[in-house]
Amino acid sequence: MTQVLEFKLPDLGEGLTEAEIVRWMVEVGDVVAVDQPVVEVETAKAMVEVPCPYGGVVTARFGEEGTELPVGAPLLTVAVGEQAGSAGRPPAPEAVAATEAAGESRGSGNVLVGYGTSEAPARRRRVRPQRPAAAPRTPAEPADAGRLNGRARSAGQPDGPVPVISPLVRRLARQHDLDLRELTGSGPDGLILRADVEYALRAAEARGARTPAAAADTAPQAAAGHRAPAPALGGGAAPDEVRTPLKGVRGAVADKLSRSRREIPDATCWVDADATELMRARAAMNAAGGPKISLVALLARICTAALARFPELNSAVDTEAREIVRFGHVHLGFAAQTDRGLVVPVVRDAHARDAESLTAEFARLTEAARAGRLTPAELTGGTFTLNNYGVFGVDGSTPIINHPEAAMLGVGRIVPKPWVHEGELAVRQVVQLSLTFDHRVCDGGTAGGFLRYVADCVEQPAVLLRTL
C-alpha cells in the first residue's frame, strides 16, 4: 500500500523561525532515499541542506526558490510504499489519495545534514550537471557580461546562463524590464538574489530619470553594504541614499551584538607581548615534517590552558536564575569574516585537542564558513571566543562579547618592533593581546591573571609545556 507523507520545514535550531528556499535538489517524480538532501535553504545563520526523513517518490513541492517559509510549513510530500517507486514513476492517483498514517518507520526523523543515521540506505538521486566555474573578471569588464538575462533570448545568442536560480527573481526582473546581465550578485559564486534586484529597482525609482537597467549599477554597492555619505534618515529618502535591510546573517549579528551591549557590563584589558619565541617554536614544529601547525591553533591551545587556570572566564550568566554557569568543557568559537558577514564557528571540546587536531578543525570550519555550509550546530554552543583581528592589519581592538559567553581574547597583528630583550634594545616580533570580559563573572584580578598567563605563554612557550 502506498501512503503520502508530508514533510514540513523542520526546526533548524537556535530560535530560527523561517528560512528562504535557495535551491530545490529534487523534482516532482524523483525517487528519494531516507536522509537524502532535498532542498537547500538559507537561514540567518547559514546555508543548510535539509534531508527528507522519508524514502519514496516526490509528489509535490511547496514554495518556489527565493521564497521564505516559516518553520512547520509544508516543504514537500512523498509517496512511500512498494508501488511508489516502481521504475521511478509517480504513484497512481488512487495511491496518492491515501492519507497520512503509519509509515514513521520509513523515516529517520533527522532534519539536518550531519545528523544522519548510520543505517540510512544508499542515496539515489539524479545526476545534475555542475555549473562551470566563472572566469575571473577584470575591473573594466561589465558585471556578468555576455550572460543571458531573465527574458528569453533568440536562438542566435546562445550565451551561458545568468547566475539566477530563483524563478521569483527572474519574474521580478521580467516584470520591471530589468536586464539581469547588468547585476552583480551578492550570493555565493555571484548568485543574483531577490535583494539585488530590489536594490536596483529602488535605486532606479529614487533617481526618476534613470532606467532600471542603468540603476542596476548601484546593486553591487548595495549588496556590499556601501552607503552614501550623509544619508537622509527623515523627511524622505535622498536621491543617492542606499538602504541595506538588517536581515539574514547581518540581521542576526546586529541582534546578538545589541543584546550583548545591553546585558553585559564588559571591560577590556590589554598587554603587549613578545611573540618571537612562539613564532620560532611554530617554525621548528613545521620544519620537523608532518601536518603544518597554524598560529591560531597554538593560540587556541594557549587559551584552553589559561581557561583551565582561570575557569571563571569559561562561563555564562543565567539572568533569570541570577546564577553564573561555569562550564567543564571548552567549546572555542573563533571569528571568521565571510562574504555573507561575520560568523563564529565553534570548535567542540577544544580543551581535549592537540595543536594538530585544532589546526585541522579550524581549517575545516573556515572552509565551510566561506562556502556558507556551516550547520547551526557548528555555529552555536560556544563558551569562549578567540578573535584574531590581526589578519585585518590592525594592532588592537575592544571587541563585543559573543553573547551569552563571558569573555573574548583578541589578538592583533604580529609585527617587528623595538623591544627591550635581556636588557638590550632589539627588534622583536610584538603582538598586542586584549581581553574583553563580563565583569559580573570576575573582577580585574582574575581577568588580568588570565591575560598575563596568555602573554607569558606567547613569550615563553615552555611555560605552556609545564601545564600539560
What is the pLDDT, as a whole number, of residue 93? 43
Is the pLDDT at 224 greater than 50? The verdict is no
Count of residues in the chain: 468
- In terms of pLDDT, which residue wins out, 387 or 227? 387
Which range, 1-10, 17-26, 380-389, has the best average confidence (pLDDT)? 380-389
pTM of the model: 0.57
Alpha carbons within 13 angstroms on the beta-carbon side of residue 380 total: 13
Work out the average pLDDT over 431-455.
Answer: 97
Going by pLDDT thresholds of 50, 70 and 90, the confidence category of residue 128 is very low
Radius of gyration, CA atoms only, the chain: 26
Instruction: Work out the end-to-end distance of the chain between its first and last CA atoms, rounded to an integer number of angstroms.
Output: 62
Confidence class of residue 18 from pLDDT cuts 50, 70 and 90? confident
Taking residues 299-323, report their average pLDDT.
96
Which residues have a Cβ under 8 Å from the Cβ of 432 and sit 6 or more positions away?
270, 271, 272, 273, 395, 396, 411, 412
- Looking at per-residue pLDDT, the higher value among 293 and 243 belongs to 293
* Contacts within 8 Å (CB) and 24+ apart, 321-330: 324/440, 324/441, 327/383, 329/383, 330/303, 330/304, 330/383, 330/384
DSSP alpha helix (H) spans, 324-427: 355-370
439 among known catalytic residues:
yes
Is 179 known to be catalytic? no
In the chain, the percentage of residues whose pLDDT exceeds 90 is: 41
Tens-digit pLDDT profile for residues 267-299: 999 999 999 999 999 999 999 888 999 999 999
Query: Regarding predicted confidence, which is higher, 228 or 394?
Result: 394
Convert the pLDDT of each residue in 28-81 to its tens digit: 889 999 889 899 887 766 677 888 999 999 999 998 888 888 888 999 999 987
Whether the per-residue pLDDT at 147 is higher than 60: the answer is no
Q: Whole-number mean pLDDT of the chain?
A: 77
Q: Which alpha helices (H) appear in 126-180, and where do they start and end?
A: 167-175
State pLDDT tens for residues 180-191: 878 877 766 677
pLDDT at 366: 93
Considering the candidates 179, 274, 443, 456, report the single residue annotated as catalytic.
Answer: 443
Which residues, including other chains, have CB under 8 Å from residue 205's CB and lie 6 or more apart? none
| Least confident piece of the model among 62-71, 300-309, 317-326, 381-390 | 62-71
Looking at per-residue confidence, does 287 or 199 come out higher? 287
Residue 305: per-residue pLDDT = 96
CA–CA distance, 422 with 274 (Å, rounded to integer): 12
pLDDT over 60 (residue 92)? no
The pLDDT value recorded for residue 246 is 78
- Contact (CB, 8 A) for 90 and 193: no
Per-residue cell: 62: 511547496
Least confident of 140-154, 156-170, 436-450: 140-154
pLDDT at position 216 over 70: no
Identify residue 179 by its one-letter amino acid code. Answer: D
User: How far, in Å, are 25, 159, 236 from residue 204 at the CA level?
Assistant: 34, 27, 16
- The whole-angstrom separation of Cα 369 and Cα 251 is 17
| Mean pLDDT, range 137-157, rounded to an integer | 35
- pLDDT for 435: 97
| Comparison of pLDDT for 318 and 68, the residue scoring more | 318
Q: Is the pLDDT of residue 8 over 60?
A: yes
In 3-state terms the chain splits into helix, strand, coil percentages (rounded to 5) of 30, 20, 45
Report percent pLDDT > 70 for the chain.
71
Q: Distances from the Cα of 308 to the Cαs of 31, 140, 273, 304, 379, in angstroms? A: 52, 54, 21, 6, 23
The DSSP symbol for 120 reads P
Q: Can you list the domains of the chain with their CATH numbers?
A: 3-106 (2.40.50.100), 137-227 (no CATH), 250-465 (3.30.559.10)
- SS3 category, 197: helix
Catalytic residue among 35, 144, 439, 456: 439
pLDDT of residue 99: 35
CB of 75 closer than 8 Å to CB of 69: yes
β-pair partners for 317: 324
